[in-house]
């Protein structure tokens, strides 16, 4: 019997694997939270599948998403990234990644971890929504508005409310699986 999945991922093996194994699963590990922050940053204005297909290239190009290394990137490294056809070569997004790595470290210093900071907005407990269809799922919420504003205040770039809501979905802060999806009650 075929498993029922959220409509947005059906028909593409990579999308389905991401949906089945990662999307909406609560993440408390700073390394993974940073990885998704980078990927969501590059996704802004593009489709998520475009970023997923380049994920391994991003991982290689950005030192396995090591924020401590990325925070120290100099102009030569940035120029090298802008020549890398395996990633999305957007100058503003590449520069934002370096800036965000630096701001990420500052949050860790202030809160002990980025996880404590970001999950603190919801007292560490995922929000379980009850959406039947993709069309019911919002692109942003008042909560993502607040997190976005706070991150911007702390120096982050490309962290608009839609990017932040996508990050919240990806990292399981919100369970936005459709109610008929087999993953809805598993998470």
Tell me how many domains the chain contains: 1
Query: Where residue 78 sits, what CATH number does that domain have?
Result: 1.10.340.30
Residue 40 a catalytic site member: yes
The whole-number pLDDT of residue 3 equals: 86
Burial 123-146 (b: 16+ CB within 10 A, else e): eeebeebebeeeeebeebbebbee
The whole-number pLDDT of residue 74 equals: 98
Q: Residue 10 falls within a domain, yes or no?
A: no
Q: Residue 182 falls within a domain, yes or no?
A: no
How does DSSP classify residue 7? G
E-strand stretches of the chain? 127-128, 174-175
Q: Please measure the distance between the N-terminal and C-terminal CA atoms of the chain and give it in whole angstroms.
A: 21
* pTM for this predicted structure: 0.95
Task: List the catalytic residue out of 8, 16, 28, 48.
Answer: 48
Q: Residue 19 falls within a domain, yes or no?
A: no
Q: Does residue 6 have a known ligand-binding role?
A: yes
Residue 48 a catalytic site member: yes
Task: List the catalytic residue out of 8, 18, 22, 28.
Answer: 18
Closest to 168 in 3D by CA, of 135, 136, 145, 184: 145
Q: Residue 57 falls within a domain, yes or no?
A: yes
Q: Residue 17 falls within a domain, yes or no?
A: no
Domain containing 67: what range?
A: 29-175
The residue to which tokens 């934002």 are assigned:
96
Supply the Cα-derived Rg of the chain in whole angstroms.
Answer: 16
Confidence of residue 44 (pLDDT cuts 50, 70, 90): confident
Q: Residue 107 falls within a domain, yes or no?
A: yes
Which tens digit of pLDDT belongs to each residue from 125-180? Answer: 999 999 999 999 999 999 999 999 999 999 999 999 999 999 999 999 999 999 99
The whole-number pLDDT of residue 142 equals: 98
Residue 35 a catalytic site member: no
Task: List the catalytic residue out of 40, 67, 117, 165.
Answer: 40
Q: Does residue 19 have a known ligand-binding role?
A: yes
Angstrom distance (rounded) from CA 141 to CA 185:
22
Q: Does residue 177 have a known ligand-binding role?
A: yes
The residue to which tokens 């202030």 are assigned:
110
């Amino acid at each position: 019997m075929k498993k029922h999945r959220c409509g947005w991922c059906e028909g593409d093996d990579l999308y389905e694997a991401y949906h089945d194994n990662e999307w909406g699963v609560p993440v408390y590990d700073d390394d993974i939270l940073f990885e998704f922050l980078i990927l969501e940053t590059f996704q802004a204005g593009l489709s998520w599948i475009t970023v997923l297909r380049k994920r391994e290239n991003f991982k290689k190009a950005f030192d396995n998403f090591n924020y401590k290394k990325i925070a120290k990137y100099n102009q030569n490294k940035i120029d090298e990234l802008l020549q890398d056809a395996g990633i999305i070569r957007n100058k503003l997004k590449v520069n934002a990644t370096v800036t965000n790595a630096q701001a990420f470290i500052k949050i860790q210093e202030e809160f002990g971890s980025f996880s404590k900071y970001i999950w603190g907005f919801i007292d560490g407990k995922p929000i379980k929504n009850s959406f039947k269809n993709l069309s019911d799922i919002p692109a942003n919420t008042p909560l993502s508005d607040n997190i976005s504003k706070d991150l911007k205040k702390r120096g982050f770039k490309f962290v608009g409310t839609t990017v932040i809501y996508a990050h919240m979905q990806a990292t399981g802060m919100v369970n936005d699986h459709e109610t008929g999806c087999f993953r809805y009650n598993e998470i």
